[in-house]
Chains A and B, each alone.
Chain A
Amino acid sequence: MTGHHEVTREPFEMVRKKKINLKESFFLSLIRMLGSAGAIILFIILSFVLYNGVHILSWDFISKPPIEAMTKGGIFPVIVGTVLLTFICMIVVIPIGVTTAIFLSEYSKPGLLLKTVMMSMYTLAGVPSVVFGLFGLAVFVVAFNFGMSLFAGSLTLAIMVLPYIISTSEEALKAVPYSFKEASLACGATKWQTIRKVILPTAMPGILTGAILGTAKVSGETAPIMFTAAAFFTPGVPKSLFEPIMALPYHIYVLATAGTHIEETRPVQYGTALTLIVLVLGMNLLGIILRSRQRKKRAW
């Protein structure tokens, strides 16, 4: 009697049970909320600083030096200080970082040396920034006798951001397809020619993106420059590498905590903070745009 056997099935319920629905939507909204927390926090900070600082922003504010114990005037030397600091830092750190990355991705063989370099890099990346500040004070300011100066501060920042530059550059170098390398070597190029003519140019946009994001990181640091470069007040822009400078993050810090006119300088503090945020966000944005453009261009 096969063929006449009927399997009884549960009727299919088209409507989901209310209880499950409720649970689902509860967790979904929780995840949504937590997920957007980052964006909300950024939004709150931005609007807070914007609200407090935007009214002081003017052409004079960014193009004139401070006057009357910094309660009036602008922050021109402060901006110049930060720009110089990050610029010199990058000039120092990019060659060292990219060279190390080339060594790591192209020349190193698995072994003790590679392990040591990698371990040091990770450790260095985890060191609190104030420790770099103290190190810079002991080594660059005192031992090398650079004094509290633009140069000492840049070097300290360079050491701090070095692991980041190495790892972004290494990533960019490793993203170059193996087939490019093969093609170059098969053409009779040496290893160095291959690196210089094929691998580096292909990786360059990635390396630059890393450098820009690194610059954004560096420009906002206070602790490493506190003991090595930053001054409470300088009469103008620095005339040599070995002069102390004013810098945006430190300027905010001293005006808010150490000045004699803390209340009177509030608007300047917020204006400076806003300038710093715009600078950092601008650089991050540039980095992101560069990265997405190069991703689009990548046809391999």
Chain B
Amino acid sequence: MVEKTPVFAIQDFSIYYGDFMAVKTVNLNIESNKITAIIGPSGCGKSTLLRSLNRMNDLILSSRVEGQVLFRGVDIYQKDTDVIELRKRVGMVFQKPNPFPSSVYENVSYGPKIRGIKKKTQLDEIIEHALTRADLWKEVKDKLHESGMSLSGGQMQRLCIARSLAQEPEVLLFDEPTSALDPISTANIEHLLQELQKTVTIIIVTHNMQQAARISAYTAFMYLGELIEFGDTNTIFVNPYNKLTEEYITGRFG
């Protein structure tokens, strides 16, 4: 069997905030067109690790990294990395739905427009496609020019997903995307992620263990900055190798 090249190969990778080591020499491979979940208690470094994959951590002045993150074989922490191109190919959806205070149309066309696409017919096409993929087209097709902020929480989050999808990313990073949503909206998003993994590699940080168990193929468990265990989700949840993992999953701490 031919070994597939991972989308992300994280190698001996550490992240510091000043003197604080938030992520400690993590090694992890992310397989393409699968959902990988990162779980762990608050402050374990899971969001930090996720945000390092499209270099959103660069925004924090005191942060620095050691080790390598290979995206399709190329280290993204080289001096001359094109961060803009990286973020186009590795999109991100945040915890709190954060549409821009403009119309649905403006929100989704934001990425394509800053990349210089001006033709309306082309934009229209991109927007319909992205919204359809985000399972939102039917609900908003008659109010494309209404404010994105007038939508419900779940719709707003799908709008944010559509905004990312409009860039045709290869990977989508989700940072606790449903923690601000009601159960029905959460179920919708989970269903959507399972559809999306056919075309996009998905990495999701979640507080919700059932969510990880329901939708992911692989699960990584982090604790105090370290990657404690990584494997296919069934094994992690049914027969974890590490005692810490077992204790976390059975709810003995968290």
Where the two chains meet, the residues of A that have a C-beta atom closer than 8 Å to any C-beta of B are 109, 177, 179-180, 182-190, 193, 197-198, 201-202, 299-300
Q: Nearest 6 pairs between A and B by C-beta?
A: A188-B88, A179-B98, A186-B92, A188-B87, A187-B111, A299-B149
The answer, among B84, B149, B167, for a CB contact under 8 Å with A300, is: B149
Type the 1/0 row for B85-110, where 1 means its CB is closer than 8 Å to any CB of A.
11110011010101111100000001
Q: Report whether A177 and B87 are in contact in the complex, using a CB–CB cutoff of 8 Å.
A: no
The answer, among A182, A190, A197, A299, for a CB contact under 8 Å with B101, is: A299
State A180–B148 Cα separation when bound (angstroms). 13
Q: Report whether A183 and B114 are in contact in the complex, using a CB–CB cutoff of 8 Å.
A: no
Q: Report whether B87 and A183 are in contact in the complex, using a CB–CB cutoff of 8 Å.
A: no
- Residues from chain B with Cβ under 8 Å of A188 in the complex: 84-88, 111, 114-115, 167
For A188, give the chain B residue with the smallest CB separation: B88
Where the two chains meet, the residues of B that have a C-beta atom closer than 8 Å to any C-beta of A are 54, 56, 59, 61, 84-88, 91-92, 94, 96, 98-102, 110-111, 114-115, 147, 149, 160, 163-164, 167
State A188–B88 Cα separation when bound (angstroms). 5
Given contacts A185-B59, A188-B85, contact A180 B100 (CB under 8 A): yes
The answer, among A182, A193, A300, for a CB contact under 8 Å with B94, is: A182
Q: Report whether A182 and B84 are in contact in the complex, using a CB–CB cutoff of 8 Å.
A: no
Given contacts A185-B87, A193-B114, 16 further A-B contacts (CB under 8 A): A109-B61, A179-B94, A179-B96, A180-B100, A182-B94, A186-B56, A186-B164, A187-B91, A187-B111, A188-B114, A188-B167, A189-B114, A197-B110, A202-B100, A299-B101, A300-B149
State A282–B84 Cα separation when bound (angstroms). 46
- Residues from chain A with Cβ under 8 Å of B110 in the complex: 184, 187, 189, 197
Given contacts A180-B100, A193-B114, A197-B114, contact A187 B94 (CB under 8 A): no
State A183–B101 Cα separation when bound (angstroms). 12
Q: Could you show 6 A-B contacts with beta carbons less than 8 Å apart?
A: A179-B96, A187-B164, A189-B84, A190-B84, A201-B102, A299-B149
Q: Report whether A186 and B54 are in contact in the complex, using a CB–CB cutoff of 8 Å.
A: yes
Q: Report whether A183 and B167 are in contact in the complex, using a CB–CB cutoff of 8 Å.
A: no
Q: Report whether A185 and B98 are in contact in the complex, using a CB–CB cutoff of 8 Å.
A: no
A244 to B: closest C-beta gap in Å: 46
Q: Report whether A202 and B87 are in contact in the complex, using a CB–CB cutoff of 8 Å.
A: no
- Residues from chain B with Cβ under 8 Å of A180 in the complex: 98, 100-101
State A180–B149 Cα separation when bound (angstroms). 12
- Residues from chain B with Cβ under 8 Å of A201 in the complex: 102
For A186, give the chain B residue with the smallest CB separation: B92
State A186–B110 Cα separation when bound (angstroms). 11
The answer, among A179, A187, A198, A300, for a CB contact under 8 Å with B87, is: A187
- Residues from chain A with Cβ under 8 Å of B111 in the complex: 187-189
